[in-house]
Amino acid sequence: MTTTTSVLSPVYPLGTRVNERGRLDIGGCDAVELVREFGTPVYVVAEDDLRARARAFVEALAARHGDYDVLFASKAFPCTAVYRLLAEEGLACDVASGGELFLALRGGFDPARIYFHGNAKSAGEVREAIQAGVGHIVIDSLHDLERVERVAAEMGRRQEVLLRITPGVAGDTHHAISTGQADSKFGFAPVDARAAIERLADTTHLDLVGLHFHIGSQLFELEPFRAAVRTLAALGDFPVYNVGGGVGVAYLASDRPPAVADYVDTIVAAVHSELGPDKRLLLEPGRALVANSAVTLYTVQTVKRNVSTWVAVDGGMSDNLRPMLYGSRYEALVADRPAAAADERCKLAGKHCESGDVLVRDVWLAAPAPGDVIATPVTGAYGYSLANNYNGVPRPPVLFCRDGAARVVVRRESYEDLAARDL
């Protein structure tokens, strides 16, 4: 049977199709065969898709602005292979902890193009960052400023810094991932930023080169970005502006996020009119780079029909916490027969010991039965990074698929790994 790709939702990675055997095919690899070989749950990344998304950001910015960098907000998918791929694609990197810094360096990022964030950096992390030679540390509060200054002084180093501004702009997103509002744990309100800017003018070890904001994540509206850029203009004239990440993606076929080109267009236009055309402009996308590049595969363990049809798989809140933390919605299909009529209304449940462990609350599936492979798309962002060992469930491997070849870039956790730190 040959089927067209049109039966698939557009949220799947580029090149995903229903193959000649009538099965889901990602990066040229048959999903059911992948499961036979590598087991489930498993995160499957379509490598070409990930590269294409990185290129789209760089090209969109390069076409509109001279002096720029695209930073991978690495909290979205912090594994060595993803760092390495995005470093190869020429991106710079944002890290928010000593651990992410370690991984970014290991993944091959030039320290000079690493930006170190955090609202509660420890002195140890600041030391690690300066020692590694990170290009910029983003200052988040007065205490942070004092700590970074003290550490730089102790080390006899001079460090370039940006100041994080909380512009008082709230985008329309889940409250847990909104960061631009005045009452935020992140950054300086514009009135407080002035004091920090003055304070930084007096320090010998820190060099304030610019401002940063990140107003939130999974944003569909562009106006908040424009408004946030406007608030920076009143704070002085700097050579560098980092406007954060936050542009949303489609989790469902019906989602309508802005196109990357429109997002970049809006940012660049706002920066040119409010701040000037000659600034160094930094974008910091996480989700929009990696989310749609990956699909998680599970195996159905049980199907229970009571008030609802409960399709329970061998993963859940240990590999994708997002539905539980933010009420995030996902699509799902039976990878053995994606083109078959999905005519049973189901709840896709995880294996964990709580009722809240439901991956998809309302999904139509094609006659789900034990042993079927279930695919949930758009799990490339904040799935791997929020994974955990609840109920002693080992964390899944990560596969990179390309041109029909699959390689394991993160192996599955073992039971021994679960006890590896126990003394």
Sole residue written with tokens 């034990």: 370
Alpha-carbon span 149 to 153, nearest angstrom: 6
Of 322 and 351, which CB lies nearer to ligand LLP in the complex structure?
322
**Could you tell me the smallest distance in angstroms from the CB atom of residue 233 to ligand LLP?**
20
**Could you tell me the smallest distance in angstroms from the CB atom of residue 91 to ligand LLP?**
13
Give phi and psi for 153, each to the nearest 5.
-65, -45
Q: Is position 54 an interface residue for ligand LLP (rule: CB under 6 A)?
A: no
Interface of this chain with ligand LLP, residues 74 to 113, rule: CB under 6 A = 75-76, 94
Q: Is position 15 an interface residue for ligand LLP (rule: CB under 6 A)?
A: no
Of 75 and 121, which CB lies nearer to ligand LLP in the complex structure?
75
Per-residue mark of binding to ligand LLP, 140-179 (x: CB under 6 A): -------------------------------------x--
353 is catalytic: yes
**Could you tell me the smallest distance in angstroms from the CB atom of residue 227 to ligand LLP?**
17
Return the H-helix or E-strand segment holding 358: strand 358-365
**Could you tell me the smallest distance in angstroms from the CB atom of residue 96 to ligand LLP?**
6
Q: Are 320 and 358 in contact (CB under 8 A)?
A: no
Contacts of 225 (CB under 8 A, 6+ apart): 215, 219, 243, 246, 263, 266, 267, 270
Of 333 and 381, which CB lies nearer to ligand LLP in the complex structure?
381
Give phi and psi for 286, each to the nearest 5.
-115, -75
Considering only residues 135, 246, 315, 316, which one is a binding residue for ligand LLP as defined by CB under 6 A?
246
Other CB atoms within 10 A of residue 304 CB: 11
Alpha-carbon span 81 to 401, nearest angstrom: 12
Task: Given the residues 79, 93, 353, 401, select the one marked as catalytic.
Answer: 353
Nearest CA to 69 out of 78, 57, 81, 77 is that of 57
Binding site for ligand LLP (CB under 6 A): 73, 75-76, 94, 117, 177, 214, 217-218, 244-246, 284-288, 322, 326, 382
